[in-house]
Amino acid sequence: MIAVKPQGRSSPLIELIDVKSYNRNSRNYGPLLPEQKFAGVRVLLVHDDGHVEFIEKGKERVRERDKSDV
């Protein structure tokens, strides 16, 4: 998802967002790819009860690179 917030005459604020489902029982969500982390993608969790929350920047789960990816 892409969110755009107008800033008047300044450039708009643009956020790249990956929406993840979050199960309260497992307390887990799928990690970002390293490329997503590099691009500044934010994680928005959608709980099974409909509640949503952003993960704080820098505290996202990121998939570890597989040695075969190098």
pLDDT, tens only, 3-59:
999 999 999 999 999 999 987 777 788 899 999 999 999 999 998 888 999 999 999
DSSP-derived pairing of the beta strands 52-54 and 2-7: unpaired
Tell me the backbone φ, ψ of residue 69, rounded to 5 degrees.
-80, -10
Which strands, in side-by-side order, build the sheet including 10-22?
2-7, 10-22, 42-47, 52-54
Any domain includes 33: yes
**Helix count and strand count (H, E) for the chain:** 1, 4
pTM of the model: 0.78
- 25: domain range? 19-62
Q: How far apart are CA 65 and CA 43, in angstroms?
A: 19
Any domain includes 24: yes
Any domain includes 38: yes
The predicted structure's pLDDT at residue 4 = 95
The predicted structure's pLDDT at residue 13 = 93
Per the structure, how many domains does the chain have?
Answer: 1
Asked if residues 41 and 18 have their Cβ atoms less than 8 Å apart, the reply is yes
